[in-house]
Amino acid sequence: MTPPPGGAAFGGLLDDLPSGPLPDELFTTLAATPGVRIERILSTGQASPEGFWYDQAWDEFVLLVQGAAGLQIEGEGERVLGPGDWAMIPARTRHRVAWTDPDAPTVWLAVHIGEP
Residue-level length of the chain: 116
Is 8 inside a domain boundary? no
Residue 34: which residues within 8 A CB-CB, separation 6 or more?
A: none
Residues 21-51: tens digit of each pLDDT: 999 999 999 999 999 999 999 999 999 999 9
Residue 108 lies in a domain: yes
Q: How many structural domains does the chain have?
A: 1
- What confidence tens digit (pLDDT) does each residue in 53-65 have? 999 999 999 999 9
Whole-number pLDDT of residue 7: 80
DSSP letter for 106, please: E
Question: How far is Cα 104 from Cα 50, in angstroms, rounded to an integer?
Answer: 22
Domain holding 84, by residue range, is 26-113
In a domain, 2, yes or no: no
Measured at the CA of 65, the angle between CA 21 and CA 53, to 5 degrees, comes to 70
What is the share, in percent, of the chain residues with pLDDT greater than 90?
88
| pLDDT at position 98 | 98
